[in-house]
């Protein structure tokens, strides 16, 4: 994949792109909190065959550091600038955990550029889901994390999002360059911006939500089941062009709280919403992502 970047007033955003001639569609992969684009490295070889792929480091993460005045709206404009630069008109958005928030904000602001949304262990935007205790926890999570010794904080984060040694080592390698202050700053800003920018949403395109079978963190599953539904217009019920038929991806590490069956497929809780059942091509594309699961702690 080709490494590129864009300049913004607040910093530089790095992204990686593979343009496939005659691609069936473009997929944008957005990582979770304290992670970077490499969290999807096990999925890329499979999707390279038929899709244009775009991975990026969200502002304040990975190579897109330093970055000032983070907000999800700013992240949306960063992604839109990348798409304009690459002359990409429409995309499927794949958001892992915290990556689901800029993905949802993008879909809300630019619905005409969004063909579908896939949420991986993320939670919905909306004012009716989050209790006062939820908001209190979001406000204070970073402050609590500051009491952890640096090494223990990294270990705790890596173990909480991993189900295999390979996944643990991968997450530790992403966290290693970050200081404790950088980790807690990412947590503080990402969570506080979520509260400030949270709003009610309804989407008119297909949405598919996947929750790791072993993800028991907080209310992730219940929030996904309560994800806001809205009818899909008849002209949006069929995704074009066609998507690769579903086949299990064997040998992939679990990046979150999932387990693997003896057949190599990844069993998981599936939550299908808003037209995903009437949009088989989007569903098939998502089911091909077996092995791509979100850090449950985020």
What's the pLDDT score for residue 174? 96
Whether the full predicted model's pTM is greater than 0.95, yes or no, is no
Report the alpha-carbon angle 217-221-227, nearest 5: 135
pLDDT (tens digit, 9 = 90+) per residue, 17-76? 999 988 889 999 999 999 999 999 999 999 998 999 999 999 999 999 999 999 999 999
Confidence of residue 221 (pLDDT cuts 50, 70, 90): confident
What's the pLDDT score for residue 278? 35
Q: Find the mean pLDDT for residues 83-103.
A: 96
CB 144 within 8 A of CB 233: no
Query: Which segments of 97-228 are extended strands (E)?
Result: 114-120, 207-212
Report d(CA 40, CA 200) in Å as an integer. Answer: 29
User: Residue 114 is encoded by which pair of tokens?
Assistant: 């969004």
Confidence of residue 233 (pLDDT cuts 50, 70, 90): very low
What's the pLDDT score for residue 229? 60
Among 5-14, 19-28, 196-205, 248-257, name the most confident range: 5-14
Report d(CA 111, CA 237) in Å as an integer. Answer: 15
Q: Find the mean pLDDT for residues 130-143.
A: 87
Q: Find the mean pLDDT for residues 219-247.
A: 54
Which stretch of 32-46, 135-149, 216-230 has the lowest confidence by average pLDDT?
216-230
Q: Which residue has the higher pLDDT, 254 or 282?
A: 282
CB 23 within 8 A of CB 29: no
The proportion of the chain whose per-residue pLDDT surpasses 70, expressed as a percent, equals 76
pLDDT (tens digit, 9 = 90+) per residue, 98-127? 999 999 999 999 999 999 999 998 988 988
Which stretch of 16-20, 92-96, 192-196, 262-266 has the lowest confidence by average pLDDT?
262-266
Q: How much helix, strand and coil, in percent to the nearest 5, is found in the chain?
A: 35, 15, 45
């Amino acid at each position: 994949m080709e490494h590129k970047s864009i300049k913004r007033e607040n910093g530089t955003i790095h992204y990686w792109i593979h343009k496939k001639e005659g691609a069936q569609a473009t997929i944008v992969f957005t990582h979770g909190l304290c992670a970077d684009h490499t969290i999807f490295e096990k999925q890329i070889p499979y999707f390279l065959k038929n899709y244009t792929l775009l991975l990026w480091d969200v502002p304040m993460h990975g190579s897109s550091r330093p970055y000032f005045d983070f907000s999800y709206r700013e992240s949306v404009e960063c992604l839109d600038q990348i798409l304009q630069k690459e002359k990409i008109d429409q995309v499927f958005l794949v958001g892992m955990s915290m990556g689901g928030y800029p993905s949802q904000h993008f879909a809300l602001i630019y619905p005409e550029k969004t063909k579908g949304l896939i949420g991986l262990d993320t939670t919905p935007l909306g004012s009716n889901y989050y209790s006062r205790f939820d908001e209190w926890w979001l406000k204070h999570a970073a402050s609590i994390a500051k009491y952890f010794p640096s090494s223990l904080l990294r270990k705790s984060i890596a173990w909480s999002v991993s189900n295999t040694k390979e996944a643990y080592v991968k997450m530790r390698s992403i966290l290693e360059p970050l200081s404790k202050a950088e980790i807690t700053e990412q947590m503080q800003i990402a969570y506080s911006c979520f509260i400030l920018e949270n709003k009610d949403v309804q989407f008119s395109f297909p949405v598919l939500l996947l929750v790791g079978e072993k993800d028991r963190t907080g209310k992730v599953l219940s929030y996904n089941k309560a994800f806001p539904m809205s009818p899909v217009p008849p002209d949006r019920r069929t995704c074009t062009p066609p998507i690769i038929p579903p086949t299990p991806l064997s040998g992939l590490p679990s990046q979150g709280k999932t387990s693997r069956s003896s057949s190599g497929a990844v069993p998981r809780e599936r939550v299908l919403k808003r037209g995903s059942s009437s949009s088989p091509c989007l569903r098939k594309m998502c089911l091909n992502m077996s092995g791509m699961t979100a850090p449950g702690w985020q």
